[in-house]
Structure 1
Amino acid sequence: MKLQIQNKFTTELPADPSEINEPRQVKQACYSYVLPKKPSNPSLIHASVDVANAIGLSDEALLSRDFLNVFSGNSIYPETKPYALCYAGHQFGNWAGQLGDGRAINLTEVIHENKEYTLQLKGAGPTPYSRTADGFAVLRSSVREYLCAEAMHYLGVPTTRSLSLMLSGDQVLRDVLYNGNPAYEKGAIVCRVAPSFIRFGSFELFASQKDYVNLKLLADFTIKNHFPHIKEEGVEKYLAFFKEVTQTTLKMIVEWQRVGFVHGVMNTDNMSIHGITIDYGPYGWLEDYNPSWTPNTTDNQHKRYRFGNQPEIALWNLYQLANALYPLINDAKPLEAILEAYSTNYEKEYLTMMQNKLGFQIKKEQDIVVIQSLTLLLERVETDMTIFFRNLSNVTKADSAATAFDLIKDAFYNEKDLDETILADWYTWFENYSIRINEEIVSDSERNEQMNTVNPKYVLRNYMAQLCIDEADKGDYSLLKELYEMLKNPYDEQPNVQKWFAKRPDWARDKVGCSMLSCSS
């Protein structure tokens, strides 16, 4: 197993002078050196050939003893020194101070075909940032993270990637519902891959400590290594950086809304400066189209991170990043201009995204009326978002409102909820939709094909992940492999796995792991 190693982050940025691995406050450092805890009996459950190839590993390397040892934390790759990142953040809107990698350990940076990657183990043991936690992860959360990152990638949503999923051979104590009933679960380790794991909170840390020397050092390092196309100097350089982070964050949120993904924990320490989805905890996909839904039990009361609020939360988080970068700029106006542009740009990007979902290739400003009336209708009775939009592509220009409605009615969880008033409103909407698609130049088949590139047929529903976890807990990984392969082609028909193109079953409505999830992992 051969990797092309580079250690820019640890070479160019300040380390914690202490290597004592116990919870503590760390000052004037971007990271702390820390070794993974050796697992007692590691075993490979699954690995991504695509990700392995991307970082320069052959298919055969995945079966090697070296691969097992390095990516379980059992041995350290030559000329590398693992470390945990130090960062701060706002959690649920409140300043939380120092946070850091509590259960993540960065192994090293690699370069392959002129692309740089950071390899990180999640669940490999405690770090100085673990606070009261043990630094480990359990099988259920690791399966969810491993599958979801790859599912998001193939959906076309910016994300970290998953290289490997392993059992540690150790038992980990967890209280899944935080109700005083802890139990032992199988320990597991995921290797996550990203350009870097630098977060909004990385900058917030130094700003909060008034450590402007290291704030500048981190910003300069980040721009030089990850935004090398930014050629401006001085204040303009930092503004260009912030503007790009704002734009990529916006595009990520639009993609979340397109596929119905709800992150669940959009704290500033869970926001990447690369505009990619990181930290898959209590996430979920909308089953019924309910903008007020959050998958996170911790967020159930205030629903701060609900589906419909994600664009606004991203903007709130960007304000915190702007505050952190302010000492490098010392002028609020250009930062405010970038932030003010976010809302206008989001509305434009959202409109375009929804027009594409509806098959409108000719863009019209009045489409917003069709879109708003649709989203209001989708909220009135429980309607499966994924099935509705996928089946909508089968509607033709010649279909009557009644025919069109029949094509999508499988998306309703209970047709009995459709009273005469709601049915009449649906027919009215389809009459307007028919007028609109008849204005399109493309044929029905061309529109169908286009719509099916943006409306996935298969997403990682929570009940599917839970079934996979239940089987994996028994040592059966066949369903994990089946779902993994299916999720690699989410826009394809895949008739052999048609059974997964289905509404959430009734048994999953209130089942732990299927409807609401905790941050416990």
Structure 2
Amino acid sequence: MKNLKINNRFTSELPADPDETNEIRQVKNTLFSFVYPAKPSNPTLIHASNEVAEMVGITTAEIQSEEFLNAFSGKEILPETRPYAMCYAGHQFGNWAGQLGDGRAINLTEVEHNNTFFTLQLKGAGKTPYSRTADGLAVLRSSIREYLCAEAMYYLGVPTTRSLSLMLSGDQVLRDVLYNGNPAYEKGAIVCRVAPSFIRFGSFEMLTARNELKNLKEFVEYTIKHYFPEIKGEPKEQYIQFFKTVADTTRKMIVDWQRVGFVHGVMNTDNMSIHGLTIDYGPYGWLENYDPNWTPNTTDSQNRRYRFGNQPQVAQWNLYQLANALYPLVNEAEPLEKILESFINDFEIDYKEMFLSKLGLFTSTYTDSNLIEGLESALQLSETDMTIFFRNLGKVTKADAVESSIEKIKDSFYSPEEITGTILDSWKKWFAEYLQRLNEEALSDKDRSEKMNQINPKYVLRNYMAQLAIDDADKGDYSLINELYLLLQKPYNEQPESEKWFAKRPDWARSKVGCSMLSCSS
């Protein structure tokens, strides 16, 4: 990989853990620990992204090389690099968890390509000082989900980490998939994921909680210098502007989550990127039926903290924790509070604009909020598939009657026989208002439909689709991984040859493990 330009800014400019033993422990007065990946016994490349490889400076020919296989499985270390695990803390399900850190992620290095910096990170590459009671490894099923989902999100236009490669380690990993005391061995796997950095809200929380204020100042200034160079002014002004920038990019990310029906499932502060990127694809999911109270995370099934409809509020809460972490540098609450207070107001403005665009309404009036609220209520009267509903809504024309409009979206109903009586009356009422509003739009039906089809995806990575790929991969058949990978590169295109994936969740997937809710287990 002769064009891979190594640039280790993180490890050369920030304080390292002086203890280089890979023992699980509390690590203080540092931001990272040097650590080597566990050597896999027989690594095998399952899939790699040519686009991501070229993005970081690797040619498509090099992907098939033994050097690539060894480097991105953790078997060998890239020249002039020292892999490391980051130290950070965080709030998990609203509770302070103390030191967390990269328990199963190892950063290989930073690279520079076309004047852009990327961090290359292996997930599932072995134990680190931050692994707590775990082994630092990952299994094939979770690795497939992460690999495919990050790329799916990218092509949906949602800010995200990227996936470079997916590999089998050749080793068996013990996991209790249901947390019910019945662990079993599964195939081990490793994903290489790519981002500008993997700095999290919890990176700053840790330093403030431990009163390591010198390191806090140094780290914030390092982050601004390298990732937010547009921020200028006096130090205090820079810290405030940094917080505002993180709040803005986080808000935009959440708007996109809501637009495509994505539920992260575990929005802990250690899973929040300062770049406003979606990171850490664990028990995520897409809404099948439109249910704001749905969460894909079994661990969250009682309180549903991380449910779809609560993601904006959780993002604000997480930003509040980041504000607390930055407070010792700002030493003034008002500017931070002002940014926090405006977060939900700004979100609601963005959300309304986004939702109206999903409806094909691009000229706002005072009645539009009622139209949105009316639809959100109607969608919950009987199970209605979010993706299919909005995609098919683009087929409705200004000349349609209420009845023909409902006919065009009826495939989104999981139980069409329920659409009678008061439920049908609610849909008729909503479509009457919608058609009236639609006729106020200047765009032609064709132009409006084309715009809607670039906002409302036809294909998303439904959990049952990922599970089918996992089931085949367990048998050594990786063709469905590639089929879904190609499908999800063009989620807004019709792709008539792939129409079978534009379908409601099958009945068999309603309660199948991996297809409805998932655990935090890897």
Q: Which bracket does the TM-score occupy, shorter chain normalised? A: over 0.9
Shift of 1:428: 1.0
Aligned to 1:77: 78
CA contact (8 A) 1:167 1:189 kept: yes
Aligned to 1:434: 435
Query: Which residue identity is paired with 1:88?
Result: A
Equivalent residue number for residue 328 of structure 2? 327
> What's the CA shift string for 1:30-73, capped at 9, x where partnerless?
00000001000000000000100100111101001100000000
Partner of 1:305: 306
Q: TM-score, normalised by structure 2?
A: 0.99
Take 1:233 and 1:246, find their aligned partners in 2: how far apart are those partners? Answer: 20
What letter corresponds to residue 363 of structure 1 in structure 2? S
Letter of the 1:288 counterpart? N
Q: Distance in 2 between matches of 1:369 and 1:363?
A: 12
How far apart, in 2, do the equivalents of 1:166 and 1:15 lie? 29
State the match for 1:422 in structure 2. Answer: 423
Structure 1 match to 2:174 = 173
1:28-427 matches, cutoff 5 A: 28-427=29-428
Displacement of 1:416 in angstroms is 1.8
State whether residues 5 and 108 of structure 1, in contact with CA within 8 Å, keep that contact through their aligned partners in structure 2: yes
**Letter paired with 1:432:** E
Whole-Å separation in 1 of the counterparts to 2:380 and 2:265? 20
Does the aligned pair in 2 maintain the 1:109–1:118 contact within 8 Å?
yes
Paired with 2:155 and 2:233, the residues of 1 have a C-alpha distance of 34
Task: Give the deviation of 1:22 after TM superposition.
Answer: 1.1
Q: How far apart, CA to CA, are the structure 2 residues paired with 1:283 and 1:203? A: 25
1:389 to partner: Cα distance: 0.1
- Deviation string 1:211-252 (CA, Å, 9 cap, x unpaired) is 100000110000000000101222100000000000000000
d(CA) in 2 for partners of 1:253, 1:234: 29
SS of structure 1 residue aligned to 2:355: helix
After superposition, the C-alpha distances for 1:57-95 in whole angstroms (9 at most, x for unaligned) are 111010011000000000000000000000000000000
How far the C-alpha of 1:364 sits from its partner, in A, is 2.1
Are 1:453 and 1:491, in contact at CA under 8 Å, matched by a contact in 2? yes
> Could you tell me how far 1:286 is from its partner in structure 2?
0.1
Amino acid at match of 1:388: F
CA distance in 1, matches of 2:222, 2:422: 59
AA aligned to 1:393 is G
Amino acid at match of 1:342: F
What's the counterpart of residue 501 of structure 1? 502
Match of 1:176, as an amino acid?
V
Q: Secondary structure at the match of 2:69?
A: helix
Structure 1's unaligned 5+ residue stretches are none
SS of 2:380's equivalent in the other structure is helix
**One-letter code of the match for 1:129?**
Y
Deviation at 1:131, TM superposition (A): 0.3
Letter of the aligned partner of 1:503 in structure 2? K
CA contact (8 A) 1:160 1:193 kept: yes
Q: Distance in 2 between matches of 1:390 and 1:416?
A: 21
Give distance in 2, aligned partners of 1:173 and 1:460.
Answer: 26
Partner of 1:454: 455
Q: Is the contact made by 1:232 and 1:240 (CA closer than 8 Å) also made in structure 2?
A: no
Letter in 2 for 1:149: A
- Shift in Å, 1:365: 3.3
1: CA distance between counterparts of 2:234 and 2:354? 35
The match for 2:466 is: 465
| Structure 2 spans left out of the alignment, 5+ residues | none
Q: Distance in 2 between matches of 1:281 and 1:242?
A: 26
Instruction: State the secondary structure of the residue aligned to 1:340.
Output: helix
Query: 1: CA distance between counterparts of 2:296 and 2:235?
Result: 42
For the 8 Å contact 1:13–1:30, the answer to whether it is kept is: yes
Aligned mates of 1:440, 1:134 — CA distance in 2: 57
Displacement after TM superposition at 1:343 (Å): 1.1
Retained in 2: the 8 A contact 1:170–1:186?
yes
Task: Provide the TM-score with structure 1 as the length reference.
Answer: 1.00
In the alignment, the residues of structure 2 paired with residue 428 and residue 131 of structure 1 have an alpha-carbon distance, to the nearest angstrom, of 55
Q: Deviations over 1:235-284 (max 9, x none)?
A: 10000000000000000000000000000000000000000000000000
- Work out the CA distance in 1 between the residues paired with 2:421 and 2:273: 47
Q: Which amino acid letter does the alignment assign opposite residue 385 of structure 2?
A: D
Q: Hey, what's the Cα distance between the residues in 1 that align with 2:472 and 2:233? A: 53
Paired letter, 2:19: S
Letter in 1 for 2:398: K
Task: Tell me the alpha carbon deviations over residues 348-397 of structure 1, each in whole angstroms, 9 at most, x when there is no partner.
Answer: 00001001100011122321110110001101110000000000000000
Q: Distance in 1 between matches of 2:354 and 2:383?
A: 23
